[in-house]
């Protein structure tokens, strides 16, 4: 599964440089230059990782980070800032940022961070898939137990209830 990264950065040259490097690393990239553009992409796309410039033009990107955290239930967000003071940095981590990098972020560091996130995301997706499979297996065990009970009792009404239950599950 390929990781999708949203780059929210108002500096077009940096955004293009980062996007090119991430695409070369076989990642899918979406780009936004404003807070409203980033929020729109978060709401309509399946985005796995957010790279967010803390100052998008004249706007502070707090609403983007809050939207991200709510939409992804705490998905990986990497904040890039050249001006955040210590209090702002604490607030960023409290709000849900995984990392805060100095701007302009070193491409090697940025790629390392995104690869780590990508690995974590793949693990989360696999874990969710396995949990779904376990739920299906549990249902199958319940159905088999119900069939065995109905057959053992020789009761056609019980057998019919089992068939209705199976039909409702699948």
- 62-99 confidence digits (pLDDT tens): 888 888 888 877 778 888 887 778 888 888 888 888 87
**Is there a single domain that holds both residue 97 and residue 68?**
yes
Domain count, the chain: 2
Task: Measure the CA–CA gap between 70 and 88, rounded to whole angstroms.
Answer: 20
Q: Is residue 25 within 8 Å of 68, Cβ to Cβ?
A: no
* Nearest residue to 93 via CA among 69, 60, 122: 69
pLDDT the model gives residue 124:
74
Q: Are residues 87 and 159 in the same domain?
A: no
Closest by CA position to 98, among listed 5, 2, 1, 20: 5
Would you tell me how many other CB atoms lie within 10 Å of the CB of residue 163?
14
What separation, in Å, do the N-terminal and C-terminal C-alpha atoms of the chain show?
27
What pTM was estimated for this model as a whole?
A: 0.69
Task: Please give the pLDDT value at position 110.
Answer: 85
Last residue of a domain, one of 111, 127, 143: 127
pLDDT of 169 reads 66
Query: Among 34, 5, 28, which residue's Cα sits nearest to residue 113?
Result: 5
Q: What rounded mean pLDDT belongs to the chain?
A: 82
- Name the residue range of residue 149's domain: 129-169
In tens, the pLDDT along 125-163 reads 788 888 888 888 888 777 777 777 777 777 677 767 777
């Amino acid at each position: 599964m390929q990781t999708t990264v949203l780059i929210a950065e108002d500096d077009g040259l940096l955004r293009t440089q980062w996007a090119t490097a991430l695409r070369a690393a076989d990642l899918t990239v979406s780009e936004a230059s404003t807070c409203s553009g980033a929020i729109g992409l978060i709401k309509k796309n399946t985005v796995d990782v957010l790279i967010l410039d803390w100052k998008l033009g004249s706007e502070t990107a707090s609403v983007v980070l809050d939207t991200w955290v709510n939409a992804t239930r705490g998905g990986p967000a990497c904040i890039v800032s050249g001006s955040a003071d210590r209090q702002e940095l604490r607030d960023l981590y409290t709000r849900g940022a995984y990392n805060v990098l100095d701007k302009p972020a070193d491409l090697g560091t940025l790629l390392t961070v995104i690869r780590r996130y990508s690995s974590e995301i793949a693990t989360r997706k696999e874990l969710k898939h396995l949990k779904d499979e376990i739920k299906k297996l549990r249902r199958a065990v319940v159905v088999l137990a119900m069939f065995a009970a109905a057959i053992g009792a020789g009761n056609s009404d019980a057998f019919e209830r089992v068939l209705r239950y199976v039909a409702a599950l699948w």
